[in-house]
Structure 1
Amino acid sequence: MTRGPLMIDVAGLTLTDEDRELLAHPMVGSVILFSRNVDTPEQVRALTDAMRAVRPELWIAVDQEGGRVQRLREGFTRIPPMRTLGHHYDRDPDAAIASARQWGETMAREVREVGIDFSFAPVLDLDVGVSGVIGDRAFHSEPMKAVTLIRAFMQGMKAAGMMTIGKHFPGHGSVAADSHLELPVDNRSWDEISAYDLVPFRELAAELDGIMPAHVVYPQVDPLPAGFSEFWLKTVLREQLGFTGVVFSDDLCMEGAAGLGDMRQRVAVAMGAGCGVVLICNSREAVRSVLG
């Protein structure tokens, strides 16, 4: 079936009539769950079943990275921050790789069991001690050590039947600002970014099913935030890295996207740049402005 390009959210623990109306719209093809949508595993399963009763082909997603970013909690395994795997790797690489694979499989299996298709994971950003919003979400500060752990985590996810979605292309870990609240600017050169932040994306592009770009501007490379940039998404990601999967925008309601215009304009620019699925979260007004 053809899946609509919009990923939206729903109001609470059960579907409202308005939720059903929006999910039935042909432009909507995906849903993301937040903490307000989650109680017990049984409740989550009932919610996802109700969504598919409206639209069987819906993709249902969640952020279940571990650590600070874990929406499913009661009745689910608590997953450690990914940076703990990096610390483990520095002491015992083989054990850390095995642990990363197991955590990936555990996360994915539990998410899939409640009717959710995928988590937006893993994080491919590198931890350089600058970004508070990334921080211990990153596996490591050294690119190839991060790649090794991320690949193992992805192998676990795939063993449980889950898509892998890498974020935040081409790297959010070297800027301090939080793109939820403002537009971060990374003033490094292409050579610096390519030699460091891009390494995990370059190494893993062929193994990832999806990628989410960052609401970050790299002005020495392109004047637009990466998620709205044809250079980053088409020239670099598709042509240079050979990525063939799905590009998911980050949430277009975030402040990092505000400079691109109203929501209809943001959707148009993101899709024109190469995003196949665009997220509009926590604003019914914004969703309706696009659906018309």
Structure 2
Amino acid sequence: MSDCLEGVLVFDLEGQTLSDREKCLLIHPAVVGVILFSRNFQNRNQLVDLVDEIRSINAGLLIMTDQEGGRVQRFRSDGFTRVPAMGIIGEQWNKDPHQAVYLARDTGWLLASELRASGIDLGLSPILDLDRGISRVIGDRGFSADPEIISKLAAAFISGLHEAGMASVGKHFPGHGGIGVDSHIGLPVDRRSLEDIEEDLMPYRSLVSKGLDAVMPAHVCFSVADEQPAGFSEYWLQNVLREDIGFDGAIFSDCLSMAGARVVGNIVQRSEKALLAGCDAILVCNNPESVDQVVNALEKGAIHFPESPLRRKRLEKMRGASSQSWKELESSTRRVEIINSYQAL
């Protein structure tokens, strides 16, 4: 074990400009990234200015947001396309599977292109949860209830992300679609057997060889295997994801401020347990006091986790690659054709 300070924390911003406190955090060695929300967006020019200022303070940070399409899309105006929910793309599979695959790939490219043209590294997508009609928080965020359809559409979506210079983050491992409780407001306990949960793992098994770059685990307890929620469980992150499935990409925790994480302890305990379980980076959002507590604990060596050169390499691979300028993107025939195709859905 090592108390060495290492960049593992992703935090959020309170507004559309940087406060003095946030400017100091951006250069703290414990910080590896920033996540942006709708409250940080007024228009595209303001967003680009904010991203540029973050880069001017610390060019090495990962800048991310949740830009899945449908209900979860932080930026959806002033040039950012309102993208349909992935479930709508999944519905197209029943009409024309080949067209659905093309649409999934183009949607990945479009979402990533618009973010990359604004300087953002990650859109934290795709959703790999099965939409069984049980989970209200997932619903049509998922492509389908069929893991084979999810695997094929997600592979196409990831291909589109990569084409635009963005890494993929599959969520929420091993699956949030089998339980109705929303982990934002409570701890879901999924009591299914391991045999039944295997269906949820199928997209991960398929995509590990098809470009899945990172994974975000669920704040869901799968009681048959572990009393800890998956994001704090060595069983799920080490035994299943790393060893059994063979995934060697980055693991980002879901937000540790969520209600589903509170069963693990206070914010410092949650941070340590997530890192010990195998997360490469931890997200702490919507609570500046919690962010400061985690930073102070990391600074004092009160959060213990193994130092890992692999962690740094994994996170480094999450940086966005070269992208089109916004001007080039706006005039892109492909972008116009994709937007027009949404009108027919």
Q: Secondary structure in 1 aligned to 2:154? A: helix
Deviations 1:27-80 (A, max 9, x none): 011000000001211111110111111111000000000000000111211100
Find the counterpart in structure 2 of residue 32 from structure 1: 35
1:168 aligned partner, one-letter code? H
What is the distance in 2 between the residues matched to 1:120 and 1:112? 13
1:1-292 alignment runs, 5 A limit:
4-75=7-78, 76-194=80-198, 196-206=199-209, 207-292=211-296
2:26 aligned partner, one-letter code? L
Deviations 1:187-241 (A, max 9, x none): 00111101x1111111112321110000000001111100000000000000001
Deviations 1:100-121 (A, max 9, x none): 1111100000011111001110
- Note the C-alpha offset of 1:146: 1.1
Query: Which structure ranks higher in relative contact order (CA pairs < 8 Å, sequence separation ≥ 6)?
Result: 2
Deviations 1:138-167 (A, max 9, x none): 001111011111111110000000000000
Q: Secondary structure in 2 aligned to 1:211? A: strand
What is the distance in 2 between the residues matched to 1:286 and 1:153? 34
- Note the C-alpha offset of 1:10: 0.9
Q: Secondary structure in 1 aligned to 2:150? A: helix
1:178 aligned partner, one-letter code? D
8 A contact 1:45–1:115 mirrored in 2: yes
Alignment RMSD: 1.0
Equivalent pairs, count: 290
1:71 aligned partner, one-letter code? R
Runs of 4+ in 1 over 4 A off after TM superposition: none
With normalisation by structure 1, the TM-score equals: 0.98
- Note the C-alpha offset of 1:3: 6.7
What is the distance in 2 between the residues matched to 1:231 and 1:263? 21
Deviations 1:233-259 (A, max 9, x none): 000000001101100000000000001
What is the distance in 2 between the residues matched to 1:230 and 1:217? 13
What is the distance in 2 between the residues matched to 1:95 and 1:39? 35
What is the distance in 2 between the residues matched to 1:272 and 1:217? 17
The gaps in structure 1 that reach 5 residues or longer are: none
What is the distance in 1 between the residues matched to 2:58 and 2:7? 11
Deviations 1:72-100 (A, max 9, x none): 11121110000011110111011111111
Which structure is larger by alpha-carbon Rg, 1 or 2?
2
What is the distance in 2 between the residues matched to 1:3 and 1:116? 22
Q: Percent of aligned positions with the same letter in both sequences?
A: 48
1:78 aligned partner, one-letter code? R
2:30 aligned partner, one-letter code? M
Query: Which range is displaced more, 203-212 or 174-183?
Result: 203-212
What is the distance in 1 between the residues matched to 2:295 and 2:155? 38
What is the distance in 2 between the residues matched to 1:125 and 1:205? 15
What is the distance in 2 between the residues matched to 1:263 and 1:23? 20
